């Protein structure tokens, strides 16, 4: 209730109305102390004592501001999605049973996927080189990224982190044995495991990069994503809706030998 509302009604707000306002301010502004919360009603023409604000918050079980500062991890990842790139390593097997390792970097904001290399013997030096590859691929977009989200795998060393820190990014570590803390990364790796090695065994190491590149192209240029309104990462907007009734031919493109189909 502002000045205009008070002049119109001719009555000050009730205690219940002020209590409701204080609780709303505390909920919508969790980093504000009670002094700042007190200032909002005062600015609306309804001064309230700091002790009254404290009593209202205390009765509602809302602690002092230091206990309420900072967003939760989920809130942080949501609000900072456009500025986060997540890193992880996954593995695939050849038909001979050889285990190959590949790094995956996922831009949270638009879900653009980068798969930068593959090896049977991942070392710390190799991992550091893989960190350099996406920063080169990102080009000017690297300036818009602020955080690198990774787990505590031993392949991540100070040299790996230094590649991103040189681009003014902060490295965020997920908790041990907590894959849900990097859920976007886990989801894309799960997609790769289901759609690539689960249906297509590669004969040798030379074939695996071709398979992963083809899948990455599908993932970034055609695959619809619910979080992006059923748009692929590379799409700026949905195609125009066709309102006419002109019959059109549906074209199907087989990806990875028919493991995945694309329609146009």
Averaged over successive runs of 10 residues, the pLDDT of the chain (264 residues) comes to: 46 78 82 75 78 84 62 66 87 84 88 89 92 84 87 90 91 79 78 75 77 88 80 76 78 85 86
| Among candidate residues 12, 35, 68, the one where a domain is terminated | 68
From 68, 86, 101, the end of a domain falls on 68
Structural domain span for residue 193: 75-228
Residue 241 covered by a domain: no
Lookup: tokens for 8: 């119109």
Regarding whether 144 and 169 lie in a shared domain, the answer is yes
Residue 249 lies in a domain: no
Beta strand pairing status for 147-150 and 84-93? Answer: parallel
**Within this chain, do residues 181 and 60 fall inside the same structural domain, yes or no?**
no
- Report the domain count for the chain: 2
* Rounded alpha-carbon distances, angstroms, from residue 130 to 8, 111, 133, 163: 66, 19, 5, 10
- Give residue 200's pLDDT: 64
Q: Kindly state whether residues 169 and 54 are assigned to the same domain.
A: no
Instruction: Give me the long-range contacts of 8-13 (CB less than 8 A, separation at least 24).
Output: 12/46, 13/46
pTM, entire model: 0.64
CATH code for position 222? 3.30.420.10
Task: Tell me: do 89 and 48 sit in the same domain.
Answer: no
pLDDT at 12: 63
d(CA 108, CA 87) in angstroms, rounded, equals 11
């Amino acid at each position: 209730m502002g000045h205009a509302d008070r002049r119109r009604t001719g009555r000050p707000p009730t205690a219940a109305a002020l209590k409701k306002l204080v609780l709303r301010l505390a909920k919508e502004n969790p980093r504000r102390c009670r002094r700042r919360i007190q200032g909002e009603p005062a600015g609306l023409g309804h001064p309230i004592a700091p002790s009254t604000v404290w009593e209202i918050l205390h009765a509602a079980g809302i602690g002092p501001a230091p206990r309420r500062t900072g967003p939760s991890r989920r809130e942080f990842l949501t609000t900072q999605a456009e500025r986060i790139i997540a890193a992880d390593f996954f593995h695939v097997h050849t038909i001979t049973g050889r285990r190959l390792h590949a790094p995956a970097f996922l831009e949270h904001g638009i879900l653009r996927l980068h798969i930068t290399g593959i090896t049977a013997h991942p070392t710390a030096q190799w991992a550091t080189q893989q960190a350099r590859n996406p920063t080169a691929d990102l080009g000017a977009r690297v300036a818009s990224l602020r955080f690198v989200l990774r787990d505590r795998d031993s392949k991540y060393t100070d040299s790996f982190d230094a590649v991103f820190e040189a681009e003014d990014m902060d490295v965020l570590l997920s908790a041990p044995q907590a894959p849900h803390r990097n859920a976007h990364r886990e989801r894309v790796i799960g997609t790769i495991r289901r759609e690539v090695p689960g249906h297509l065994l590669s004969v040798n190491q030379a074939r695996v990069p071709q398979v992963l590149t083809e899948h990455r192209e599908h993932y970034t240029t055609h695959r619809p994503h619910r979080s992006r309104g059923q748009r692929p990462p590379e799409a700026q907007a949905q195609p125009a809706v066709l309102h006419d009734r002109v019959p059109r031919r549906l074209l199907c493109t087989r990806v990875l030998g028919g493991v995945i189909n694309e329609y146009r």
